[in-house]
Amino acid sequence: MNRILLLPTLSLAALLMSCAHRNNLPTAFAADYHPQLDKSDVIRTPSCAALSGVDTRNALKNAVVGERTLETRPMPVQTISMRGNPGNWLSASANEMLRQSGLVANRAGAPRLKLSLSDVMIHENIYVNSGYDGRVTLDASLEYASGKVCWSDRKSGAAKNYGNSGEAINYQETVNHALDRAMMAILSDKGFQDAACGPCRP
């Protein structure tokens, strides 16, 4: 009786393990932005805050943005790459987060927000499904047409996710959420808000 019960259990475990192992290959996903923040996470900026526009730049060294590892046993780490235009991806999040925060982004004479995508990191831990950890880091500054910089800082956002291994939507949700949180970290910064509300202070 015990043997009859044990064999199906072992067979199922072997099947699940083999599925996990087959999924541990290099993979890639498209930089496709969709907002991920809950309304409760959105920071409303002061009514005096305004920008004349937003400039974005991709400063990533290459398309590799993460790694895949197996929880069950040591195996070579496999890469995760992000395809497409990371600068456009950043711009889409910036415009959406500015809209949600209520910050005016087209006022003449106000400073411009300069954003540089300095790092995207995602780690996928594979078992039967996968756990995802992501982080996005931005370099940001407020600059007037004269070239005078009123504020600058580096901000990061982090996110976690869980789902089927190797699916593009799970990578996208993770990094989109982390990107939105990095943008909110910028917009909620007291120094940023002060500089966006008034004359440039050195």
pLDDT of residue 128: 83
Q: Which two tokens stand for residue 71?
A: 């929880």
111: domain CATH number?
3.40.50
pLDDT of residue 74: 75
Return d(Cα 102, Cα 43) in angstroms, integer. 9
Q: Closest Cα to residue 142, out of 85, 198, 95? A: 198
pLDDT by residue, tens only, the chain of 202 residues: 444 443 344 343 443 444 444 457 899 999 999 999 988 889 999 999 999 999 999 999 999 999 999 887 777 889 999 999 999 999 999 999 999 999 999 999 999 999 999 999 999 999 888 999 999 999 999 999 888 999 999 999 999 999 999 999 999 999 999 999 999 999 999 999 999 998 775 5
Asked if residue 40 is part of any domain, the answer here is yes
pLDDT of residue 201: 58
pLDDT of residue 79: 95
Asked if residue 202 is part of any domain, the answer here is no
Residue 156 belongs to what domain range? 2-197
Asked if residue 168 is part of any domain, the answer here is yes
Split into its structural domains, the chain has a count of 1
Q: Which two tokens stand for residue 141?
A: 């500054």
pLDDT of residue 76: 84
Q: Closest Cα to residue 125, out of 40, 32, 20, 48? A: 20
pLDDT of residue 23: 53
Instruction: Give the sign of the dihedral formed by CA 111, CA 112, CA 118, CA 122.
Output: positive
Residue with tokens 């370099």: 139
Q: Which residues contact 63 (CB under 8 A, 6 or more apart)?
A: 28, 81, 82, 83
